[in-house]
Amino acid sequence: MVRKEWEEKGFVDEPVESGLDLKVEIRKLCRQKNAVIMAHYYTNGEIQELADFVGDSLALAQKAAKTTADIIVMCGVHFMGETAKILCPEKKVLIPDANASCSLAESCPTTEFSRFLKEHPGYTVISYVNTTAATKAMTDVVVTSGNARQIVESFPKDEKIIFGPDRNLGRYINTITGRNMLLWDGACHVHEQFSVEKIKALKAAHPQAKVLVHPECKEEVAGLADVVGSTAVLLKYAVNHEEKEFIVVTESGILHEMRKSCPDKTFIPAPPESDACACNECKDMKMVTLEKLYNTLKYEWPEVKVDAGIAEKAVRPIHRMLEISEKLGL
């Protein structure tokens, strides 16, 4: 029975019994309920440690599409839960805190995006996975930062393409592919915070360090990169590259897996512009805590729901992305 105060708060606000080992109890609930925990690299380290699977947004979608579990607990932001629900409508998809949204997805309101598409007929619409289900329903093919380049390149050179919502990722893909996609003017407030001056100062202090940058960062920041890529691409580069020091210009949650995978290497988080905030942290990703995860599994709430009409339209561009990615071995 869902309580009114939970609904008001967007998560199960129940104190957990004292003396419980939450990590043990969470795993026990997963076994009892045939539930799988999936977590994004930006979540808190203890959540990543408990998860059955940790990945970037492409890998999470791929994994969700194939899971045999009855319940998927998506430790990440809301659009990740929606993507899993759209791919697995018969499964129960839970998210520990329904307030965990994404500034980038929010920078593309459905009505405005729909008007923009009507103003530009004849375009193929490519949307980043960081969008609401309603935006995906207006899309021809979804991409993630892990496959955007290859999917854009799978279209003929002269294809007229609208790319949304991230202007930084779109501009970066235009640059590396020589395309001229029309860009929606959205952005991620975390990735837009990184400071060119502070990264340059770090570079001066660590001249051997390689600079790893997520493509959601601004052009001037991407210009300082040794490699630009999705969280999984940056991780792979750090693992495979012989260099011992890396300046990491993306949400700081990825440092957990980087340090775990490469204990002999040094990872330096790039600071944001302002010293007054922890703006290189995505506050929404950090909303997932052990207590909320435990309560979510115990009470099977909050559940991610997607309107059936929207899901029917949104599933096609997601499947198209997964098919192209599989064909390309991504």
User: Which residues contribute to the site for ligand SF4 (CB under 6 A)?
Assistant: 77, 102-104, 130, 188, 190-191, 216, 251, 282, 284-285
Residues near ligand 13P (CB under 6 A), total: 11
**Rule CB under 6 A: is residue 170 a binding residue for ligand 13P?**
no
Which residues have a Cβ under 8 Å from the Cβ of 113 and sit 6 or more positions away?
Answer: 135, 138, 164, 165, 184
Cα separation, 222 vs 216, whole angstroms: 9
Residue 231 contact partner, candidates ligand 13P, ligand SF4, none, CB within 5 to 8 A by sort of partner: ligand 13P
Residue 217: CB minimum distance to ligand 13P, A:
10
**Rule CB under 6 A: is residue 144 a binding residue for ligand 13P?**
yes
2-10, 13-21, 81-89, 143-151 -> range binding ligand 13P (CB under 6 A): 143-151
How far lies 168's CA from each of 171, 216, 273, in Å?
Answer: 5, 5, 17
The candidate with the shortest Cα–Cα distance to 212, out of 192, 188, 232, 186, is 232
Report yes or no: 116 and 291 within 8 Å, Cβ to Cβ.
no
**Rule CB under 6 A: is residue 146 a binding residue for ligand 13P?**
yes
25-33, 142-150, 241-249, 295-303 -> range binding ligand 13P (CB under 6 A): 142-150
List binders of ligand 13P among 194-223 (CB under 6 A). 216
Residue 145 contact partner, candidates ligand SF4, ligand 13P, none, CB within 5 to 8 A by sort of partner: ligand 13P
How far lies 292's CA from each of 14, 166, 243, 300, 320, in Å?
Answer: 9, 30, 38, 11, 34
Exposed, middle or buried: residue 204 (CB in 10 Å: 0-12, 13-18, 19+)?
exposed
Residues 238-264 as b/e (b if ≥16 CB within 10 A, e otherwise) read beeeeeeebbbbbbbbbbbbbeeebee
Residue 287 contact partner, candidates ligand 13P, ligand SF4, none, CB within 5 to 8 A by sort of partner: none
Per CB under 6 A, the list member of 48, 131, 145, 295 interacting with ligand 13P is: 145
Per CB under 6 A, the list member of 147, 168, 193, 231 interacting with ligand 13P is: 231
What is the β-pairing status of strands 182-183 and 210-213?
unpaired
- Could you give phi then psi for residue 75, rounded to 5 degrees? -90, 95
**Rule CB under 6 A: is residue 302 a binding residue for ligand 13P?**
no
Q: Kindly tell me which of 48 and 130 has the beta carbon lying closer to ligand SF4.
A: 130
**Rule CB under 6 A: is residue 130 a binding residue for ligand 13P?**
yes
Q: Which residues bind ligand 13P (CB under 6 A)?
A: 56-57, 130, 144-146, 188, 216, 230-231, 251
